[in-house]
Amino acid sequence: MEIILGKTAGFCYGVKRAVEGAKKEIEENNNLYCLGEIVHNKQVIEQLEKNGMTFIETLNQVKQKNANVIIRAHGVSKNIYELAKDKNIKIKDYTCPNVLKIHEIAEKYANEGYYILLCGNETHPENIGTISYCNENYDVIEKEDELDNIIQKILENKINKVLLISQTTYNLEKFNNIEKELKNQLYKNNIDLVIKNTICRATELRQKETKEIAKKADYMIIIGGKNSSNTKKLFEIANKYCNNTVCIETVEELDIEKLKQFETIGIMAGASTPDESINDVINKITKKFV
Ligand code: SF4
């Protein structure tokens, strides 16, 4: 049996920075909160909670005075910074620099009057943050088949300046298709179209590698949190090229007996999957078959 492990599997730069930052903050601060899950991974969250961090959904849940609140890699809406100031809360900002860059782009173009088309999921925390910089002149597009209606809206409302950006973890193939169709439809109507591919390079490389491994593998294992959007996308990509693709959160979910009928096992993991979870899976397979 051969195991192909993705070189890009596991924590990305932004998540690593936030998780390591959180560990450091625990050592240096009392009254430490984190707004939302620092990373979509149950095991990591449980460990941080054990060490004294409290996870909250809104700043209203902060009960102590002089509290410190961590902002995770996804970033937050503009108003959170103002609210924190009003409540005397100290922000420890671990928003990924790639996400901060998107906020900057959205704000700049929104202030110049551009209508912003954001590829991604409207309810994803990263996009909730980005939308707050769009001056309410935006749409979110998740699936390619939504594009026709959006183009119609642009033309009917005589919108003449459009910016296309994306969630950092959006599927590159879909983004390229949307870009192509927008160019086809908007340029001929003399609409100023600005394209900024804001898909994170780490995501792009991981998605490309997933595709390549899935093409070679007989069985493909994607490791990642159940609510991790980038893990879901890796599963989607792998499943397209390898019929036997599974998505698991921890090694306990691996159906090890099923693997004996396969020769090449591909392994990939989302940006929020710690090395320990990946190693657990590899160890279990090698112990049994290699
Ligand atoms: S996936 Fe990219 S943008 Fe998102 S946290 Fe990781 S490095 Fe930053």
Q: Domain ends where: 40, 73, 95?
A: 95
User: At 221, which CATH number?
Assistant: 3.40.1010.20
- Do residue 6 and residue 37 come from a single domain? no
> Ligand 1 atom 2: the closest Cα is on which residue?
200
Nearest CA to ligand 1 atom 8: 14
CATH number at residue 33: 3.40.50.11270
Q: Are residues 275 and 212 in the same domain?
A: yes
Does residue 187 share a domain with residue 206?
A: no
Give me the phi and psi of 166, to 5 degrees please.
-150, 155
Same domain, 87 and 165: no
With contact defined as beta carbons under 8 Å apart, do 68 and 87 qualify?
no
Q: Output the pLDDT for position 40.
A: 80
The mean predicted confidence, pLDDT, of the chain is 95
Mean pLDDT of 12-32: 93
Per-residue pLDDT tens over the stretch 206-219: 999 999 999 999 99
Question: From the alpha carbon of 96, which atom of ligand 1 is closest?
Answer: 8
Domain co-membership, 121 together with 60: no
Nearest to 199 by CA among 229, 174, 169: 169
Q: Give residue 39's pLDDT.
A: 85
Distance (Å) from CA 158 to ligand 1 centroid:
35
The pairing of beta strand 161-166 with beta strand 138-141: unpaired
Q: Is the pLDDT of residue 248 over 90?
A: yes
Q: Are residues 79 and 18 in the same domain?
A: yes
Indicate if 66 and 155 belong to the same structural domain.
Answer: no
Query: Kind of pairing, strands 245-248 and 192-195?
Result: unpaired
Burial class (CB in 10 A: 0-12, 13-18, 19+), 38: buried
Residues 105 and 168 in one domain: yes
Tell me the average pLDDT across 128-156.
97
Domain end call among 95, 118, 133: 95
Mutate which of 168, 207, 230 for ligand 1? The one with the most ligand atoms within 8 Å of its CB, which is: 168
CB of 39 closer than 6 A to ligand 1?
A: no
| 15 in contact with ligand 1, CB cutoff 6 A | yes
Using CA positions, which residue lies closest to atom 6 of ligand 1? 14
For residues 76-105, give the mean pLDDT.
97
Q: Can you tell me the distance from the alpha carbon of 95 to that of 160, in angstroms, rounded to the nearest whole number?
A: 32
* CB of residue 95 inside a 6 A radius of ligand 1: no
Query: Quick one: DSSP state of residue 66?
Result: T
- 179 and 103 in one domain? yes
| Residue 145 structure tokens | 């088949």
Task: Compute the distance from residue 185 Cα to the ligand 1 centre, in Å.
Answer: 31
Q: Tokens 């792009």 — which residue?
A: 204
Q: Give mean pLDDT, residues 235-254.
A: 97
The last residue of one of the domains, among 95, 124, 140, is 95
Name the band, by pLDDT with cuts 50, 70 and 90, for residue 169. confident
Buried b (16+ CB within 10 A) or exposed e, 136-154: eebbbbbeeeebeebbeeb
Instruction: Give how far Cα 86 sits from Cα of 80, 91, 92, 140, 243, Å.
Output: 10, 12, 16, 31, 53
Looking at the fold, whether 87 and 115 belong to one and the same domain comes out as no
According to DSSP, the β-strands at 54-56 and 32-35 are parallel
Residue 234 in contact with ligand 1 by CB distance below 6 A = no
Q: Are residues 51 and 107 in the same domain?
A: no
- Ligand 1 closest atom vs CA 168: 3
**Is 126 an active-site residue?**
yes
Q: What is the pLDDT of residues 48-75, one digit of tens each?
A: 999 999 999 999 999 888 899 999 999 9
Choice from 8, 12, 16, 95 to test ligand 1 binding pocket (greatest atom count within 8 A of CB): 12
What is the domain extent for residue 78? 13-95
State whether 62 and 109 are in the same domain: no
Vertex 170 angle, CA 13 and 175, to 5°: 130
Pocket test for ligand 1, best of 37, 96, 171, 228 (most atoms within 8 A of CB): 96
Catalytic residue among 37, 126, 209, 249: 126
Q: How many domains does the chain have?
A: 3
